Amino acid sequence: MAEAVLANAICETPSTNWEDETIALAGALRSAILAQRDGARIVGGSYSSQPNVLGFADRLINTMHAAGLSGADALWATSTEFCYVLGETLEQQGADHAPIDGLADHVLGSRYPHLSATPTERLVDFDARFSFGIGVLIAGLRQRAATS
Protein backbone atom coordinates (compact mmCIF):
# COMPACT_ATOMS: atom_id res chain seq x y z
CA MET A 1 0.00 0.00 0.00
CA ALA A 2 2.80 2.44 0.82
CA GLU A 3 4.18 1.85 -2.66
CA ALA A 4 0.83 2.82 -4.20
CA VAL A 5 0.62 5.98 -2.09
CA LEU A 6 4.18 6.99 -2.98
CA ALA A 7 3.44 6.48 -6.67
CA ASN A 8 1.23 9.55 -6.40
CA ALA A 9 3.96 11.55 -4.67
CA ILE A 10 6.38 11.36 -7.56
CA CYS A 11 5.57 14.47 -9.53
CA GLU A 12 7.09 16.50 -12.26
CA THR A 13 8.18 19.86 -10.91
CA PRO A 14 9.36 22.72 -13.04
CA SER A 15 11.54 23.86 -10.16
CA THR A 16 14.66 25.75 -10.97
CA ASN A 17 16.15 25.66 -7.49
CA TRP A 18 16.42 23.24 -4.59
CA GLU A 19 14.10 25.22 -2.32
CA ASP A 20 11.20 25.15 -4.78
CA GLU A 21 11.89 21.48 -5.47
CA THR A 22 11.87 20.70 -1.74
CA ILE A 23 8.55 22.50 -1.29
CA ALA A 24 7.06 20.77 -4.33
CA LEU A 25 8.15 17.29 -3.25
CA ALA A 26 6.91 17.82 0.31
CA GLY A 27 3.58 19.08 -1.02
CA ALA A 28 3.24 16.16 -3.41
CA LEU A 29 4.00 13.69 -0.63
CA ARG A 30 1.50 15.39 1.66
CA SER A 31 -1.20 15.36 -1.01
CA ALA A 32 -0.58 11.70 -1.82
CA ILE A 33 -0.77 10.67 1.83
CA LEU A 34 -3.88 12.75 2.52
CA ALA A 35 -5.61 11.31 -0.56
CA GLN A 36 -5.48 7.82 0.98
CA ARG A 37 -7.61 6.97 4.00
CA ASP A 38 -5.16 6.35 6.85
CA GLY A 39 -2.39 7.17 4.39
CA ALA A 40 -0.02 8.41 7.09
CA ARG A 41 -0.40 5.19 9.07
CA ILE A 42 0.13 3.12 5.93
CA VAL A 43 3.25 4.98 4.82
CA GLY A 44 4.59 5.43 8.34
CA GLY A 45 4.36 1.74 9.10
CA SER A 46 6.40 0.74 6.08
CA TYR A 47 10.11 0.69 5.34
CA SER A 48 9.51 -0.49 1.84
CA SER A 49 12.31 -1.21 -0.58
CA GLN A 50 10.03 -0.77 -3.55
CA PRO A 51 10.70 1.38 -6.63
CA ASN A 52 8.36 4.29 -5.80
CA VAL A 53 9.57 4.63 -2.22
CA LEU A 54 13.21 4.42 -3.27
CA GLY A 55 12.62 6.70 -6.26
CA PHE A 56 11.05 9.38 -4.09
CA ALA A 57 13.92 9.18 -1.60
CA ASP A 58 16.49 9.28 -4.41
CA ARG A 59 14.92 12.35 -5.91
CA LEU A 60 14.81 14.16 -2.58
CA ILE A 61 18.45 13.25 -1.90
CA ASN A 62 19.33 14.73 -5.29
CA THR A 63 17.53 17.89 -4.22
CA MET A 64 19.56 17.94 -1.00
CA HIS A 65 22.73 17.60 -3.11
CA ALA A 66 21.59 20.65 -5.08
CA ALA A 67 21.25 22.46 -1.73
CA GLY A 68 24.90 21.71 -1.03
CA LEU A 69 24.48 18.76 1.32
CA SER A 70 26.19 15.43 0.80
CA GLY A 71 26.65 12.07 2.46
CA ALA A 72 24.85 11.60 5.76
CA ASP A 73 23.62 15.21 5.75
CA ALA A 74 21.73 14.65 2.50
CA LEU A 75 20.34 11.36 3.78
CA TRP A 76 19.27 12.81 7.13
CA ALA A 77 17.78 15.92 5.51
CA THR A 78 15.70 13.61 3.32
CA SER A 79 14.61 11.59 6.33
CA THR A 80 13.81 14.75 8.29
CA GLU A 81 11.60 16.14 5.54
CA PHE A 82 9.88 12.80 5.02
CA CYS A 83 9.22 12.41 8.75
CA TYR A 84 7.97 15.99 9.04
CA VAL A 85 5.45 15.45 6.25
CA LEU A 86 4.45 12.12 7.73
CA GLY A 87 3.92 13.60 11.19
CA GLU A 88 1.88 16.53 9.94
CA THR A 89 -0.33 14.31 7.80
CA LEU A 90 -0.81 11.90 10.70
CA GLU A 91 -1.98 14.83 12.85
CA GLN A 92 -4.29 16.05 10.11
CA GLN A 93 -5.81 12.67 9.35
CA GLY A 94 -6.38 12.02 13.03
CA ALA A 95 -7.77 15.45 13.84
CA ASP A 96 -10.95 15.61 15.81
CA HIS A 97 -11.84 19.26 16.22
CA ALA A 98 -13.67 18.71 19.52
CA PRO A 99 -10.43 18.55 21.54
CA ILE A 100 -9.19 21.83 20.07
CA ASP A 101 -12.46 23.52 21.01
CA GLY A 102 -12.05 22.28 24.59
CA LEU A 103 -8.40 23.32 24.67
CA ALA A 104 -9.25 27.01 24.64
CA ASP A 105 -11.55 26.51 27.63
CA HIS A 106 -8.80 24.80 29.61
CA VAL A 107 -6.06 27.21 28.60
CA LEU A 108 -7.74 30.58 29.07
CA GLY A 109 -7.09 32.05 32.49
CA SER A 110 -5.21 28.94 33.51
CA ARG A 111 -1.78 28.15 34.75
CA TYR A 112 -0.53 28.06 31.14
CA PRO A 113 0.00 31.77 30.46
CA HIS A 114 2.30 31.31 27.48
CA LEU A 115 0.02 28.84 25.77
CA SER A 116 -3.06 30.95 26.47
CA ALA A 117 -1.32 33.94 24.85
CA THR A 118 -1.17 32.08 21.53
CA PRO A 119 -3.96 31.54 19.01
CA THR A 120 -4.54 27.87 19.93
CA GLU A 121 -7.40 27.65 17.43
CA ARG A 122 -4.74 27.91 14.69
CA LEU A 123 -3.46 24.44 15.62
CA VAL A 124 -5.98 22.99 13.19
CA ASP A 125 -4.99 25.30 10.32
CA PHE A 126 -3.08 22.44 8.77
CA ASP A 127 -2.16 24.21 5.54
CA ALA A 128 -0.58 27.12 7.42
CA ARG A 129 1.17 24.76 9.85
CA PHE A 130 2.56 22.75 6.98
CA SER A 131 3.85 25.81 5.12
CA PHE A 132 5.42 27.20 8.28
CA GLY A 133 7.19 23.92 9.03
CA ILE A 134 8.54 23.52 5.51
CA GLY A 135 9.83 27.08 5.71
CA VAL A 136 11.61 26.27 8.98
CA LEU A 137 13.13 23.13 7.43
CA ILE A 138 14.36 25.01 4.38
CA ALA A 139 15.90 27.75 6.54
CA GLY A 140 17.70 25.08 8.57
CA LEU A 141 18.87 23.25 5.46
CA ARG A 142 20.15 26.50 4.00
CA GLN A 143 22.10 27.16 7.20
CA ARG A 144 23.43 23.60 7.33
CA ALA A 145 24.57 23.76 3.70
CA ALA A 146 26.36 27.04 4.34
CA THR A 147 28.38 25.46 7.14
CA SER A 148 29.13 22.11 5.48
Does residue 113 fall inside a structural domain? no
Measure CA 58 to chain center.
17
Does residue 119 fall inside a structural domain? no
- pLDDT value of residue 49: 79
Give the pLDDT confidence of 62-85 residue by residue, as tens digits: 999 999 999 999 999 999 999 999
Instruction: Determine if the pTM surpasses 0.85.
Output: yes
Does residue 89 fall inside a structural domain? yes
- pLDDT value of residue 23: 94
Structural domain range at position 37: 2-96+126-147
DSSP letter string, 71-110:
HHHHHHHHHHHHHHHHHHHHHHHT--HHHHHHHHHHHTTS
The amino acid at residue 134 is I
Residue 50: CATH number of its domain: 1.10.357.10
For residue 40, give the nearest of 80, 78, 5, 4 by alpha carbon: 5
pLDDT of 136 strictly over 80? yes
Can you tell me the distance from the alpha carbon of 92 to that of 113, in angstroms, rounded to the nearest whole number?
26
